[in-house]
Amino acid sequence: MALDTGNRSEEFRAHPEWKDVVPSITDAPTLGDGLRVAREQSGRSLAELSAVTRVPVRYLTALEQNDFSTLPNRVFSIGYVRAYADALGLDEQLAVERFKRETPDPSVPLQAPVGVAFEDVRRYSPRLIAAGLALIVAVVGWNVFQRVSLMRAPQPSDIAAVPESWTLGAVPGQSALRLSAPQPAPPDQTIPALYVTPGLEAELTGVDPASPEGLAAAASSASPVQRAFNPRGAIYGASASASQVVIQARKAASLVVRMADGRVLFARQLAPGDAWRAPVGVAATVDVSDPTAFDVYLNGEHGGALEAALTPLAQLNVRAQALARQAAAEVAARTQAAQAEARTRAATVQSAMVTAAGG
């Protein structure tokens, strides 16, 4: 089948939907001429294209007339060019590139040509190289000089004779110093002497501190102070307020407390320092593996070691109660004696005052 090479362009142009090919934006002398020619060939007015692109008519007119001074800032102007070219069927990117070439951005400063800086470097390069070499030579020479100076053999001192003042003998023009025996330190003057109120100690204790016989009698009649209970480990059993007897382990040993009916009240291997508080009014027996390994404290004071492996708990409680009553009786007796002595002294003072008044 042969190809039809006939020319039917006139028939195509007569068709109502025929449109000429859109000219390229690069064929026009300027960007505005290309936009105007494309709009005229499309047969649309500026008002119609303004409604399509949403760009005011005055800005489209300015683009066609190359009057870029009336356009807004560069960002909006590029957007208007892109929208106008798209509405006309032109290449948007080509239109934007041509707009940038025809309207340079004034906000970007001009840069110096690269060749000028390169020529300056070539012009001054011999001087820079010479200065660098001179600096390197100076640094190397200074380091060599310092090293040679350190390697030089030590020279004898210029001092011909040792000055007489450097010797250990007497210095000319000064008297010889002689050390005597050390003197005691002066008394500390910042601490005042302790003031003792006359008669206060005798009033409180009933013992005259100036009387050696009274001090000896008081020392002989005073009861020795027992060692107090010192918790050094875990404490088991009753609370401190409900117990008068404490059994403390000196070393590791077992402690078993059995009730009268055979029940075990407490059983444990105690470590050194552990203790057990015995309750009051409980009939039980203390069974230990080693009596010498336990100390007994009655009312908080040391009462010696356990006497046997089996010890009735009631016996320890009775001892504690007896000691408590004895201590209370001694306190009451001392209180009564102090009160009686105070009444006697008050009566003596009153009698002396009456006598003095009558005389």
- pLDDT, one tens digit per residue, over 204-252 is 777 777 777 777 776 666 555 557 888 888 999 888 888 889 999 999 9
Res. 136: pLDDT tops 90: yes
Residue 240: the pLDDT is 84
Residue 2: the pLDDT is 37
Q: pLDDT: is 307 or 161 the higher one?
A: 307
The bridge status of strand 235-237 relative to strand 275-279 is: parallel
Residue 17: the pLDDT is 57
Residue 258: the pLDDT is 92
pLDDT-derived band at 6, boundaries 50, 70, 90: very low
Cα 349 → chain centroid: 70
pLDDT-derived band at 173, boundaries 50, 70, 90: low
Contact 278, 236 (CB under 8 A): no
Residue 5: the pLDDT is 38
pTM: 0.37
pLDDT-derived band at 175, boundaries 50, 70, 90: low
How many Å apart are CA 200 and CA 208, to the nearest integer? 9
Q: pLDDT: is 200 or 30 the higher one?
A: 30
How many Å apart are CA 338 and CA 334, to the nearest integer? 6
Residue 286: the pLDDT is 92
What mean pLDDT value characterizes the chain? 79
pLDDT-derived band at 170, boundaries 50, 70, 90: low
Res. 165: pLDDT tops 50: yes
Residue 242: the pLDDT is 86
**β-bridge mates for residue 302, sequence order:** 297
Among 63-72, 85-94, 132-141, which is the least confidently predicted range? 63-72
Q: For the residues 77-86, what does the mean pLDDT come to?
A: 88
Residue 108: the pLDDT is 58
Q: What's the chain's length in residues? A: 359
In order of 59, 83, 84, 89, 215, the CA distances from 51 in angstroms are 13, 11, 11, 16, 126
Among 60-64, 107-111, 140-144, 309-313, which is the least confidently predicted range? 107-111
Q: For the residues 8-26, what does the mean pLDDT come to?
A: 56
The one-letter amino acid code at 141 reads G
Residue 139: the pLDDT is 93
pLDDT-derived band at 10, boundaries 50, 70, 90: low
Res. 61: pLDDT tops 50: yes
